[in-house]
Amino acid sequence: MDAKAGRWERLARIWWIIDRLRGESGCPWDRKQTPESVQTYLVEEAHEAAAAVRGGRPLEAAEELGDLLFMVFFLVHLYEEDGKFDLERVCQIISEKMIRRHPHVFGDVHVNSSQEVRDNWEKIKAEEKAASGKPAASVPESLPALMRAYRVLSRLSHRDDFDRNDLKCEARRFASKSGKLARRFAQGGELPEELWGQVLLDLVNLARLKGIRAEDVLHAQVSSMENHFFALAGSSNGNGGSPEKAP
| Between residues 80 and 190, the one the model is more confident about | 80
In degrees rounded to 5, what are phi and psi of residue 98?
Answer: -65, -40
Measured CA to CA, the distance from residue 230 to residue 89 in angstroms comes to 48
CA distances from 164 to 3, 18, 68, 120 (A): 49, 48, 36, 20
* Residue 107: pLDDT over 80: yes
pLDDT at 135: 65
Taking residues 107-118, report their average pLDDT: 90
User: Predicted confidence band at 29 (pLDDT cuts at 50, 70, 90)?
Assistant: very high
Highest-pLDDT range among 83-87, 217-221, 234-238: 83-87
* Residue 3: pLDDT over 80: no
Average pLDDT, the chain: 88
Query: Residues with Cβ < 8 Å from 173, sequence gap 6 or more?
Result: 202
* Residue 115: pLDDT over 90: no
C-beta neighbour count of 61 within 10 angstroms: 18
pLDDT at 237: 62
pLDDT tens, residue by residue, 70-100: 999 999 999 999 999 999 999 999 999 999 9
Measured CA to CA, the distance from residue 173 to residue 12 in angstroms comes to 54
Sign of torsion, CA 53 54 56 59? Answer: negative
CA distances from 1 to 7, 10, 12, 138, 159 (A): 10, 12, 15, 45, 51
Is the pTM higher than 0.85? The answer reads no
Q: Which domains does the chain have, with CATH numbers?
A: 3-100 (1.10.287.1080), 110-136 (no CATH), 145-237 (1.10.287)
pLDDT at 140: 83
* Residue 151: pLDDT over 60: yes
CA distances from 109 to 98, 100, 104, 106, 118 (A): 15, 11, 4, 9, 13
Contacts of 213-218 with C-beta under 8 Å, sequence gap 24+, read 213/147, 213/150, 214/146, 214/149, 214/150, 215/144, 215/146, 215/147, 215/150, 216/54, 218/146
pLDDT at 246: 40
